[in-house]
Structure 1
Amino acid sequence: MTATRYELLPIAGMQEAARDLPHGAMVTVTCSPRHGLERTLEASEWLVGMGVRVVPHLAARLVRDRAHLEQLLRRLAAVGIEDAFVVGGDAERPVGAYPHGRALLEAMTGLELRPARLGVPAYPEGHHRIEATALQRDLEAKAALADYAVTQLCFEATPLLAWRERQQRLGLPLPFHAGIPGVMEPRRLLAIALRLGLGPSVRALRRQSGWLARLLRPSSYCPDALLEGLGPGLGDPAAGFAGLHVFTFNRVAATRGWLEARQDLMPERPARDEANPHLITSAGEPLA
């Protein structure tokens, strides 16, 4: 089965939402300037106790110095967390020595405490604060320091696939996970997309037949068309996407139900371990 990651927000209601996760699921935990790294680590430690595989976000702009970094990594190692997602973070100013994700990745290079796997973000639809050329240059620099990448939240398969094809032509070696929305109320989803500056995706949603009418209905949005478009390339780290990264916004129950009902769109194929590309796991899941 195609590998799937569920993203959770460490806010009120997260623990209740987490109880709807599949046992042994891969779960990422976000980090915000408002709640800080401590909230992310506390949530991650609690989730480990729930029996899921946890990937905390490490926001570079919230890390003070090398001593603070090593303290964070020791906490992850103490509970057996071997995977972390390195982002620059949304803090207006860095609190210390790491102004962006690449600086934090470089600081972890060669450290004994470095997690076995590190992920980085990718922006197929651009970033509202960073120019496209700089984004690509940054991703190529991170490719030598990280083990995989996860795309931003996307709503349309065509530009996502075109971007993936471009990375392949450029020879970028990272396995990519496609970032897709979970199941939620359309109004809430649109508000989130606008806040994140996802202009191209929002325009794509509005172009879809009946989008505005659906927006006014009480029914939930399900990204069926997106999953159908991505389907043929899912589970193929070399040419497509290693798996899905689902932005649940803590709407886990509905999202899990939708995913389980759409297994027909996710091909059964052996998945390569991202840290060891030539290793195939017997269950078709990447080794943790």
Structure 2
Amino acid sequence: MNDANRAALAALARPAWLATRFELLPIRGMQEAAGALPEGAVVTVTCSPRHGLERTLEASEWLAGAGFRVVPHLAARLVRDRAHLERLLARLAALGVEDVFVVGGDAERPLGDFPHGLALLEAMTVLSTRPERVGVPAYPEGHHNIEAASLQCDLEAKAALADYAVTQLCFEPGPLLAWRDRQQRRGLRLPVHAGIPGVMERKRLLSIALRLGLGHSVRTLQRQGGWMTRLFGPAVYRPDALLRGLRSSLGEGGAGFLGLHIYTFNQIGPTRAWLETLPNSRTAMPTSRA
């Protein structure tokens, strides 16, 4: 057996979760939630105006110390200036962090020199402490505050400075696949992770989706949460149908999706239990190192 065959067999034997990124919120109970994560999992840590960058960094430090591969979110509007950015990146480098996720952030006004994610990306390109990998967000179902044309221009500009993208939370494959096809036709070569929800109470998930201002996916979830479902269907959402719709496009870094990014909202236990029911194959959940 040659090395290539051995590598292929090893990949097939990996648990399905190894290809998955888990997103956590750095709020009370996060450490307990992280206890249900698989050992060595890739964990992204969000950043909000309410808690600030420091909370994200503290959570990242704890998670890195617990043996996880941490991907902190850096919200551009919360970074004051280049000196502040250099200190942030140096702190992450000391932790061994090789991957960060740059977002504009939800702060109403920027605290300093970076009004949006693109500005922060541009500043990072000239710094020796820029992490090995930098991710950016993508919005297949649009953004409630940004026009579609502006979103597209922004993504294309970021693609020249980033290493991968992660889509917003979606509940059905159609918008994700249609968006990926459009990007492919436009020549976007940035690898993309498909953002999907984890397993959680359907009512809670719908509430989150409405707050995020999602489009087609919210209507789908509302249909699924109609009176027939409430009477005869499960109260807990599982992304089985979504994953079935995406399966043929997973593992295709160019034409499809490199892997999955699960928005867990810290509901790790049910999500991991669901993942462990999936086939341990590259078709079900390909390994990725975007």
Could you state the TM-score of these two structures normalised by the residue count of structure 1? Answer: 0.91
Aligned to 1:281: none
Q: SS in structure 2 opposite 1:193? A: helix
User: Matches of 1:116 and 1:172 in 2, distance apart?
Assistant: 20
Q: 2:69 aligns with which of 35, 53, 59?
A: 53
Aligned to 1:96: 112
Counterparts of residues 147-166 of structure 1 (less than 5 Å): 147-166=163-182
Aligned to 1:279: none
Q: Give how far 1:128 is off.
A: 0.3
Q: Give how far 1:252 is off.
A: 0.4
Task: Verify: 1:214 aligned to 2:217, yes or no.
Answer: no
User: Matches of 2:34 and 2:26 in 1, distance apart?
Assistant: 10
Task: Verify: 1:286 aligned to 2:286, yes or no.
Answer: no
Counterparts of residues 213-232 of structure 1 (less than 5 Å): 213-215=228-230, 219-232=235-248
Aligned to 2:21: 5
Kindly provide the amino acid, as one letter, of the partner of residue 24 in structure 1: G
- CA distance 1:203–1:46, change in 2 (3 Å): same
Which sections of structure 1, spanning at least 5 residues, go unmatched? Answer: 272-283
Aligned to 2:40: 24
Contact 1:206/1:212 (8 A) holds in 2: no
Task: Verify: 1:139 aligned to 2:186, yes or no.
Answer: no
Equivalent residue pairs, number: 273
Counterparts of residues 135-284 of structure 1 (less than 5 Å): 135-208=151-224, 211-215=226-230, 219-263=235-279, 267=283, 284=287
User: Matches of 1:32 and 1:108 in 2, distance apart?
Assistant: 21
- CA distance 1:119–1:215, change in 2 (3 Å): farther
Q: SS in structure 2 opposite 1:263? A: coil
Kindly provide the amino acid, as one letter, of the partner of residue 286 in structure 1: R
Cα deviation code 1:83-121 (max 9, x no counterpart): 000000000000000000000000001210100100000
User: Matches of 2:91 and 2:279 in 1, distance apart?
Assistant: 36
Q: Give how far 1:218 is off.
A: 6.8
Q: Give how far 1:206 is off.
A: 2.6
User: Matches of 1:117 and 1:266 in 2, distance apart?
Assistant: 23
Q: Give how far 1:266 is off.
A: 5.7
Q: Give how far 1:50 is off.
A: 0.9
Percent sequence identity over matched residues?
A: 71
Q: Give how far 1:229 is off.
A: 0.1
Kindly provide the amino acid, as one letter, of the partner of residue 229 in structure 2: R
User: Matches of 2:129 and 2:281 in 1, distance apart?
Assistant: 39
CA RMSD of aligned residues (A): 1.8
Cα deviation code 1:52-94 (max 9, x no counterpart): 1000000000000001000100110001001000000000000
Contact 1:60/1:87 (8 A) holds in 2: yes
User: Matches of 1:93 and 1:242 in 2, distance apart?
Assistant: 34
Q: SS in structure 2 opposite 1:6? A: strand
- CA distance 1:134–1:55, change in 2 (3 Å): same
Contact 2:206/2:222 (8 A) holds in 1: no
Q: 1:75 aligns with which of 83, 86, 91?
A: 91
Could you state the TM-score of these two structures normalised by the residue count of structure 2? Answer: 0.90
